[in-house]
Amino acid sequence: MSNSQRLSSEQRARLERLGERGVLSREQVEAVLDELDRERGAAWGSRTAVWEVLGYIGGALVLGGAVLLVGMYWEDLAVSARVGLLVAATLALMGAGLVMAGGPRALHAFGDAEPSARSRIVSALIALASCTAALAVGSGVDVLESLAASATGLLVALFGYVVVGGLPVLLVAVGFSVGVVAAAVAEWFDSSSPAHTTGLVALGAVWSALAVLGVVRHRRPVLGAGVLIALAGAQYAVGLGPSWVGYGLTLVIGLLCFGGYLVERAVVLLALGVLAVTVAVPEAVWDWTGGALGGPVVVLLVGVVFLAASALGLRLRRRAPAPEQR
């Protein structure tokens, strides 16, 4: 169906008569029809955006209301009542997402379709549902509460991403994966164990690999999240000692980001590489000098790192072709 066919028959008839009388040329008639239809499409798009925002607000209120209700009456509510409220909130969010998607059959087309207002809101509702599901499990079990809650949220979010896709539910899955690693390490290892660093760096490497290999559609956000998780793990080692492990690992991650930027041309890699080197260099200098250098010198070093990275980035930008939009 052409653009002009979406206009009313009365509008078309009036414009056609102007063309027949020679007041407007045929090209002018077509131009007017296209312009009128464009305005109608913009108005419809703005109305769609309003409904999309209302869906986000409604989902957030369902999650916030459930959490607030359980939190305010935590001591008064039985375990079954807490779990029941959170399960009801989860089902409400899932049901709303299913209705907005157009039914179970429509969900299958979401994963491969281009992002739209409908797919975004459905993804956001499933992301919120994974949070309430995690809270429900965490409230109902007596052992390994944090691990069980995080694992539940991760499974629901991953299921939602496989079925629906969408960045919101994927980022929630990344967050819950961090919760799973942190809870598992805290449960089975001492706080001074290197398992915290190992687990987070390994998790960051897994998400980064999934992004690089194209397993997930939203490659660059997930790549950035993976690098940030790895950097958090590296920095955790700084406080455990020996500190050189932490800042050395941070520096290695930063250099890998710079190397990846040469291949991927993703600005997020350049930015995170700068962040890693900016953090690692002052930590190394402070460690090597025993803290003899004052704060201003450390700030100066940070500035030099920024300037060097900026010069490198601009030089590479001038030599490289325009980055491919993914």
> What is the C-alpha end-to-end distance of the chain, expressed in Å?
30
Q: How confident is the model at residue 43 (pLDDT cuts 50, 70, 90)?
A: very low
Task: Indicate whether 281 pLDDT > 90.
Answer: no
The secondary structure of the chain in percent helix, strand, coil, rounded to multiples of 5, reads: 80, 0, 20
Q: In this predicted structure, which of 44-53, 127-136, 303-312 has the lowest mean pLDDT?
A: 44-53
For residues 150 and 176, the answer to whether their CB atoms sit within 8 Å is yes
User: Is 202 found in the same domain as 177?
Assistant: no
Residue 27 within any structural domain of the chain: no
Task: Indicate whether 105 pLDDT > 70.
Answer: no
User: Is 70 found in the same domain as 144?
Assistant: yes
User: Is 171 found in the same domain as 66?
Assistant: yes
User: Is 174 found in the same domain as 216?
Assistant: no
User: Is 217 found in the same domain as 136?
Assistant: no
Residue 131 within any structural domain of the chain: yes
Q: What is the pLDDT of residue 8?
A: 57
Is the model more confident about 184 or about 299?
A: 184
Task: Indicate whether 58 pLDDT > 90.
Answer: no
Q: Please identify, among 169, 188, 207, the residue that sits at the C-terminal boundary of a domain.
A: 188
List pLDDT tens digits, range 6-19.
455 666 676 677 66
Task: Indicate whether 45 pLDDT > 50.
Answer: no
Q: Please identify, among 157, 188, 219, the residue that sits at the C-terminal boundary of a domain.
A: 188
Residue 217 within any structural domain of the chain: yes
User: Is 142 found in the same domain as 71?
Assistant: yes
Instruction: Classify residue 322 as left (phi > 0), alpha (psi -120 to 50) or beta.
Output: beta
The number of beta carbons lying within 10 Å of the beta carbon of residue 241 is: 10
Range of the domain at 104: 52-188
User: Is 164 found in the same domain as 226?
Assistant: no
For residues 126 and 96, the answer to whether their CB atoms sit within 8 Å is no
Mean pLDDT of the chain: 77
Task: Indicate whether 200 pLDDT > 90.
Answer: yes
Helix (H) or strand (E) holding 152: helix 145-163
Q: How many domains does the chain have?
A: 2
User: Is 201 found in the same domain as 95?
Assistant: no
Q: In this predicted structure, which of 5-9, 66-70, 212-216 has the lowest mean pLDDT?
A: 5-9
Give dist(CA 326, CA 50) in Å, integer: 27
Closest CA to 207 of 232, 237, 230: 230
Q: What is the pLDDT of residue 326?
A: 43
Q: What is the pLDDT of residue 266?
A: 81
Distances (CA, A) of 323 to 148, 256, 265, 266, 312: 42, 19, 6, 8, 16
Q: In this predicted structure, which of 20-29, 177-186, 233-242, 316-325 has the lowest mean pLDDT?
A: 316-325
Q: Please identify, among 133, 154, 188, the residue that sits at the C-terminal boundary of a domain.
A: 188
Residue 6 within any structural domain of the chain: no
Task: Indicate whether 25 pLDDT > 50.
Answer: yes
User: Is 261 found in the same domain as 310?
Assistant: yes
User: Is 325 found in the same domain as 237?
Assistant: yes
User: Is 312 found in the same domain as 226?
Assistant: yes
List pLDDT tens digits, range 117-174.
677 778 888 888 999 899 889 888 877 888 999 999 999 999 988 888 788 899 999 9
Is the model more confident about 19 or about 39?
A: 19
Q: How confident is the model at residue 1 (pLDDT cuts 50, 70, 90)?
A: very low
List pLDDT tens digits, range 73-89.
666 778 888 888 888 88
Task: Indicate whether 222 pLDDT > 70.
Answer: yes
For residues 165 and 175, the answer to whether their CB atoms sit within 8 Å is no
For residues 34 and 3, the answer to whether their CB atoms sit within 8 Å is yes
* Global pTM value: 0.70
User: Is 258 found in the same domain as 146?
Assistant: no
Q: How many C-alpha atoms does 263 have within 13 Å on its Cβ side?
A: 5
